[in-house]
């Protein structure tokens, strides 16, 4: 108990001195959270050595001395598997790290030389330190937070609105089973479990097909809740607002009320604790977005991603921090939104990628700016997997990319142009996209370091002001 109090008191002092920063790395599936965290840790640990961080002033000026991993504060949360990720990247052939399947954390101590002495700068020493806590969360779980705004009836109606024709085809087994279900009948546990599994299968199929706006998230990554009754519910399709009064009057042991109780339990015992214990602790956040993957997948999935991102952005508490709020009620005071896998398009397309990202998140960005929260959109490649080349054909020089596809085929391609605005329906009919996926560069090609695109710009925005 004494050690716990001492640790908490030390953390309080560090936060009061602004020497502790809690950064959330978030994003939906396949956005590249694991690659981003791996690269972030590597670049900071190797600052001044193999890492190329010219856009981070503390590194460019030789003041960033490096970072070390230390024991994290919460010993009940798995540590981010940095060593395993590096082993995958250094393998023969190199492989992308396995994505994390649950919450993970990592704590770094960053050592640097301040630009000048402040009230606390260095405490009489020429060096200073910043404690950086990194938090990684499954993207699927992020979309559960808006469930708190619904009851079971309104949530069922929302899910009905998200069922596009393609999603309906993927959910045919669930829709057939639930069509034969009488909401007024006495609940049959086995039957509900079977139908819930059909619903979960439809969500998994939709995720594999590139859809993102999927709830509940724990149906996709159940963790320690797998098989529990709390995950054995599903929406009832076809509900009209006039049905509410009739359904509310049904017996408590009915199908409808059984599903409603499980939904409420999920809200109170899964979603709320997740928000209370984790999300409210963040100081800064980066949201990673796979814009190119959505373009590849087509208009229906692109619009689905837009809805999912708008939902995700509503889940966080943004606002400027005062000393008191930093100590007792942290709120996110700086945000980065990054289009990942910028190495999958040629360099002259990178500005288009940022412009398209800003268009995709136009409404949330307006709200953030109205709230006076600094927000920056950028494109990056956490771990660069291609090399840019120029190809001459009939006297014309064209940008191209050289890389190795996931199945091991060496290729030299021009992947295509990124639109600068949200594509309209007629645009999709005229143009398709083929932004290939690539294997990481092997060590003999990349050298000793982990090459990247604008990881230093992201680091400067997220923590550069703390290294002055």
64 & 133 share domain: yes
Please write the tens of the pLDDT for every residue from 299-322.
888 888 888 888 777 766 666 655
pLDDT in tens, 389-442: 888 767 788 888 999 999 999 999 888 889 988 888 778 777 767 778 899 999
267 shares its domain with 133: no
* The predicted structure's pLDDT at residue 124: 43
Do the beta carbons of residue 352 and residue 435 sit within 8 Å? no
Same domain, yes or no: 177 and 302: no
Q: What is the pLDDT of residue 7?
A: 47
Rounded Cα gap, residues 115 and 30, in angstroms: 38
| Domain end point (choices 245, 274, 303) | 274
Q: Is 439 within a domain? A: no
> Which has the minimum average pLDDT: 75-79, 173-177, 228-232?
75-79
Q: Do residues 268 and 180 share a domain?
A: yes
- Distance between CA 137 and CA 25 in Å, rounded? 7
Residue 432 inside a domain? The answer is no
Q: Are 291 and 269 within one domain?
A: no
136 membership: H or E segment, kind and range: strand 128-136
- If asked whether residues 212 and 264 sit together in one domain, one would say yes
Residues 391, 392, 396: CA angle, nearest 5 degrees: 120
DSSP 73: S
The pLDDT of residue 119 is above 70: no
For residues 108 and 151, state if they share a domain.
no
216 closest CA partner among 274, 277, 300, 177: 274
Beta bridge partners of 410: 404
Please compute the mean of the pLDDT values over residues 105-132 and round it to a whole number.
77
3-state secondary structure of 393: strand
Q: Does residue 360 belong to any structural domain of this protein?
A: yes
- Sign of torsion, CA 70 35 97 77? positive
Closest C-alpha among 207, 213, 204, 282 to residue 26 = 282
Specify if 182 maps to a domain: yes
Mean pLDDT of 234-257: 93
Mean pLDDT of 353-363: 91
Residues 44 and 121 in one domain: yes
Residue 416 lies in a domain: no
Confidence of residue 138 (pLDDT cuts 50, 70, 90): confident
| Distance of alpha carbon 233 from alpha carbon 231, whole angstroms | 6
Same domain, 330 and 250: no
User: Biggest alpha carbon distance in the chain?
Assistant: 79
Q: Most confidently modeled of 125-129, 156-160, 393-397? A: 156-160
How far is it, in rounded angstroms, from Cα 305 to Cα 423?
13
The domain in which residue 191 lies consists of 146-274
For the domain that residue 300 is a member of, what is the CATH number?
3.40.50.300
Distance, CA of 327 to CA of 22 (rounded, Å): 12
Report d(CA 63, CA 43) in Å as an integer. Answer: 14
Rounded to an integer, the average pLDDT of 247-264 is: 95
Least confidently predicted of 171-175, 218-222, 376-380, 452-456:
218-222
Last residue within a domain, chosen from 215, 249, 274: 274
Nearest-angstrom CA–CA distance, 321 and 326 = 6
The lowest-confidence range among 21-35, 213-227, 261-275, 396-410 is: 213-227
Res 162 pLDDT > 90: no
Whether residues 196 and 268 share a domain: the answer is yes
pLDDT of residue 381: 97
Residue 101 has pLDDT above 80, yes or no: no
Q: How many domains does the chain have?
A: 2
> What is the average per-residue pLDDT within 59-80?
88
Give the pLDDT score at 62: 92
Are both 156 and 259 inside the same structural domain?
yes
User: Does residue 171 sit within a domain?
Assistant: yes
Q: Is there a single domain that holds both residue 247 and residue 374?
A: no
Q: Name the 3-class secondary structure at 329.
A: coil
Report whether pLDDT(85) > 50: yes
pLDDT digits (tens, 9 = 90+) for 3-39: 445 544 555 555 445 688 999 998 887 889 999 999 9
In a domain, 66, yes or no: yes
Average model confidence (pLDDT) across the chain: 86
Domain end point (choices 244, 259, 274): 274
| Average pLDDT of span 214-239 | 87
CA distance 435 to 413: 10
For a pLDDT cut of 70, what percent of the chain falls above it?
A: 89
pLDDT above 90 coverage of the chain, percent: 50
- The pLDDT of residue 1 is above 50: no
Task: Please give the backbone phi and psi of residue 339, each rounded to the nearest 5 degrees, phi first.
Answer: -80, 115
Measure the CA–CA gap between 248 and 163, rounded to whole angstroms.
25
Q: Report if residue 290 sits inside a domain.
A: yes
């Amino acid at each position: 108990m004494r050690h716990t109090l001492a640790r908490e008191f030390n953390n309080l002092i560090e936060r009061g001195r602004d020497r502790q920063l809690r950064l959330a790395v978030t994003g939906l599936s396949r956005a590249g959270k694991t690659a981003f965290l791996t690269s972030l840790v590597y670049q900071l640990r190797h600052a001044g050595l193999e890492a190329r961080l010219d856009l981070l002033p503390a590194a460019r000026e030789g003041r960033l001395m490096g970072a070390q991993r230390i024991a994290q504060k919460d010993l009940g949360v798995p540590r981010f598997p940095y060593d395993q990720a590096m082993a995958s990247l250094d393998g023969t052939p190199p492989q992308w790290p396995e994505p994390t399947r649950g919450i993970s954390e990592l704590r770094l101590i960053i050592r640097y030389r301040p630009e000048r002495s402040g009230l606390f700068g260095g405490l009489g020493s020429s060096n200073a330190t910043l404690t950086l806590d990194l938090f990684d969360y499954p993207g699927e779980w992020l979309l559960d937070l808006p469930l708190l705004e619904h009851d079971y009836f309104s949530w069922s109606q929302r899910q009905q609105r998200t069922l596009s024709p393609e999603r309906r085809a993927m959910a045919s087994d669930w829709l057939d089973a639930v069509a034969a279900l009488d909401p007024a009948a006495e609940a049959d546990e086995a039957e509900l479990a079977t139908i819930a599994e059909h619903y979960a299968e439809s969500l998994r199929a939709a995720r594999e097909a590139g859809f993102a706006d999927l709830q509940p998230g724990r149906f996709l990554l159940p963790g320690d809740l797998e098989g529990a009754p709390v995950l054995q519910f599903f929406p009832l399709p076809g509900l009209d607002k006039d049905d509410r009064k009739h359904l509310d009057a049904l017996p408590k042991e009915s199908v409808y009320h059984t599903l409603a109780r499980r939904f409420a339990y999920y809200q109170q015992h899964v979603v709320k604790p997740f928000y209370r214990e984790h999300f409210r602790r963040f100081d800064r956040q980066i949201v990673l977005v796979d814009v190119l993957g959505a373009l590849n997948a087509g208009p229906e999935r692109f619009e689905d991603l837009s809805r999912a991102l708008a939902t995700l952005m509503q889940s966080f508490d943004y606002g400027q921090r005062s000393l008191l709020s930093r100590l007792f009620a942290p709120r996110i005071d700086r945000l980065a939104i990054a289009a990942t896998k910028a190495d999958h398009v040629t360099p002259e397309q990178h500005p288009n990628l940022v412009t398209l990202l800003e268009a995709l998140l136009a409404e949330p960005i307006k709200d953030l700016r109205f709230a006076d929260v600094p927000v920056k959109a950028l494109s990056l490649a956490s771990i660069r997997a291609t090399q840019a080349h120029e190809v001459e054909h009939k006297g014309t020089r064209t940008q191209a990319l050289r890389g190795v596809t996931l199945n091991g085929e060496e290729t030299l391609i021009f992947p295509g142009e990124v639109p600068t605005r949200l594509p309209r329906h007629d645009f999709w009919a005229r143009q398709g996209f083929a932004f290939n996926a690539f294997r990481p560069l092997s060590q003999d090609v990349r050298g000793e370091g982990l090459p990247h695109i604008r990881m230093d710009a992201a680091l400067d925005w997220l923590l550069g002001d703390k290294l002055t």
